[in-house]
Structure 1
Amino acid sequence: MSGKEATFRTFTKDQGQDYARYRRDYHSRLYQQIIDYHTSKSGQLGTLLDIGCGPGIAVRTFAKQFTHAIGIDASEGMITTAKSLGGETSTSEPIRFEVSADYGASLDLPDGSVDVITVATAAHWFDMRLFWTQAARLLKPGGTVALWTGANIVALPPTPNPTEITAAINRLMDRIDDFKEEGNRISQELYINLAMPWTLDPPVVEFEKSEAKRVEWGTDTPESLPCDEFFAMNKPANLDMVEAIVATASPVIRWREANPELAGTDQDVVKRMRREMEETMRAGGVNEGEELLYGGVDAVLLLNGKKA
């Protein structure tokens, strides 16, 4: 939205539909973390604003707990897809989807009218000063900002040779390293270096560090949640699905744009990863056509409350 990221901003309707088809929703435990944090501070479930909503994956699920819900994105292709998929709030009110590249500044939302702002796997592309300034204006006193991202796919048992499968995924990430932008690296580092309101100069004073909460999945911290409880992974993914999911990553898209003669061939970076995974699974005794990946991701959720 800040102009630092061009790949998702220019998605066509077809690309938006592919993104919606292959990207998974988030685990109910993530949404419950947000609700618990918000309501513990007497927050209400009136209006939800999802910024950078893409095709509406998160807001479509989370809206069911709110009276009103709005999803905004800078990409017309994403919003076209979101509108086609629809979604309703707890009162059966349709989710409102709008194209907006200014964090909702151009919408007809009164100051202090939003209860919860969510940003799913998108904040690393934002101009964070503009974002936090806009969040401070729109949120009610005691309102909540929830930012999250996932990175670093990890294979888990009963996937055969899960360590080797994870290594194949990591080799893909090494091959597309030159096509990662700053936002990709901020996400991969689980928002350690994401600008927060108190780190800005001058700070956005409506938010205090003492009110912030960090929740992690799949990391080495003692409180970390299981890495397979970040996405709603109700069943394992076959390799067609793995290939399709990975193909929606922005560095992969940029690699294919830079190497059109290799995209889709045996030298395609995603095809190479798949071939390595197939070979590893064969060595583990899996028959052709029966390959399944059980796994999760390292991830983080950042929660911040506006002063009451």
Structure 2
Amino acid sequence: MKDNFSKQSKAYAHFRPHYPATLYDFFYTHINSFDKALDIATGNGQVAAELSKKFNQVHATDISAKQLAEAPALTNVFYKIEAAEESSFPDKYFDLITIAQAIHWFDFDKFYTNAKRMLKPHGVIAVIGYGLLSVNSLVDPWLLHFYKNITGPYWDKERRYIDELYITIPFPFTEITPPALKMEYEWTKEQFIGYLNTWSAVQHFIKANNSHPLSAGLLQQLDQLWPDNRLCKISFPLLLRAGHQ
């Protein structure tokens, strides 16, 4: 598993979108017990914190100590630095395993073998993510240009699984058909730019070129499309594969 987010862990915690309550409600309806949950590649603990409201215990793992340093301290959430493929928890231990915006980085075979071992009979596994956001008919062409032409060559090859909406990842479980879900917010232009700066491709561009991909010219173009202090409605398509043993 790659660690592309330690360097911008504070920005990641501040600017990354949060999953809606309807997502959690969906897979909660398929869970028989709310004793223990595991959130793998928890990052800043966003999903783990939500699960803690429902489960007696939540274990949350990540390979990045800097990311875990941004996670909330909660009495029933237990953080651990550990790779997804090497989780060391007992067999048949968890009622729910979640992986949010991270499955595309994993060694699928190793991870799924371990996940099946740790999941209780009839336990649920939920692979969650979100695709490229949309703003409006003015900003979206600018965004697509930045995504495909400017940062495009700097995305890791695994990004394709997100572009393919997680449809092409292996998923060796009895699948539960999810509802169509999305995440919607009202953002300022500054929030939008803050989110773009969390992209791993932006960090790869900076490292390769010693310059920022959001050039003065690109920012001037964006200023013409999105005035200062104006809120715009933005939407992320929500990706979800859920199933049980």
Deviations 1:100-126 (A, max 9, x none): 0144533xx221010100001000101
| Corresponding letter in the other structure for 2:83 | A
| Counterpart Cα distance in 1 of 2:195 and 2:80 | 25
CA contact (8 A) 2:61 2:84 kept: no
Task: Give the fraction of aligned pairs with identical amino acids, expressed as a percent.
Answer: 23
The offset of 1:297, in angstroms, is 1.3
Equivalent position of 1:166 in the other structure: 140
| Corresponding letter in the other structure for 2:200 | S
CA contact (8 A) 1:215 1:300 kept: no
Cα 1:272–1:94, aligned 2, differ >3 Å: closer, same or farther?
farther
Equivalent position of 2:24 in the other structure: 31
Equivalent position of 1:95 in the other structure: 77
What SS is found at the alignment partner of 1:20?
Answer: helix
- More strand per residue: 2
Deviations 1:64-108 (A, max 9, x none): 1101001100112112222xx213xxxxx33101100144533xx
| Counterpart Cα distance in 1 of 2:56 and 2:218 | 44
| Counterpart Cα distance in 2 of 1:271 and 1:131 | 42
Query: Aligned residue pairs: how many?
Result: 244
The answer as to 2:210 corresponding to 1:247 is no
Equivalent position of 2:73 in the other structure: 86
The answer as to 2:127 corresponding to 1:147 is yes
The offset of 1:300, in angstroms, is 1.4
The offset of 1:274, in angstroms, is 4.1
Q: Which runs of 5+ in 2 are unaligned?
A: none
Equivalent position of 2:188 in the other structure: 238
CA contact (8 A) 1:72 1:98 kept: yes
| Counterpart Cα distance in 1 of 2:147 and 2:242 | 28
The answer as to 2:175 corresponding to 1:212 is yes
| Counterpart Cα distance in 2 of 1:32 and 1:66 | 13
Deviations 1:226-285 (A, max 9, x none): x3xx36x3xx1111111111110111111111121x22xxxx33765543332123xxxx
Q: Which runs of 5+ in 1 are unaligned?
A: 88-92, 156-161, 198-206, 217-223, 282-287
Which of 40, 47, 50 is equivalent to 1:58? 47
Equivalent position of 1:115 in the other structure: 95
CA contact (8 A) 1:214 1:300 kept: no
| Counterpart Cα distance in 2 of 1:25 and 1:303 | 18
TM-score by structure 2 length? 0.92
The offset of 1:164, in angstroms, is 1.9
| Corresponding letter in the other structure for 1:297 | F
| Corresponding letter in the other structure for 2:153 | D
| Counterpart Cα distance in 2 of 1:271 and 1:305 | 49
| Corresponding letter in the other structure for 1:279 | Q
CA contact (8 A) 1:215 1:302 kept: yes
| Corresponding letter in the other structure for 2:233 | Y
Which has the larger Rg? 1
CA contact (8 A) 2:86 2:111 kept: no
Deviations 1:207-240 (A, max 9, x none): 3xxx303436xxxxxxx34x3xx36x3xx11111
What SS is found at the alignment partner of 1:215?
Answer: coil
Equivalent position of 2:4 in the other structure: 7
The answer as to 2:154 corresponding to 1:179 is yes
| Counterpart Cα distance in 2 of 1:118 and 1:271 | 40
Equivalent position of 1:200 in the other structure: none
Q: CA RMSD in A?
A: 1.9
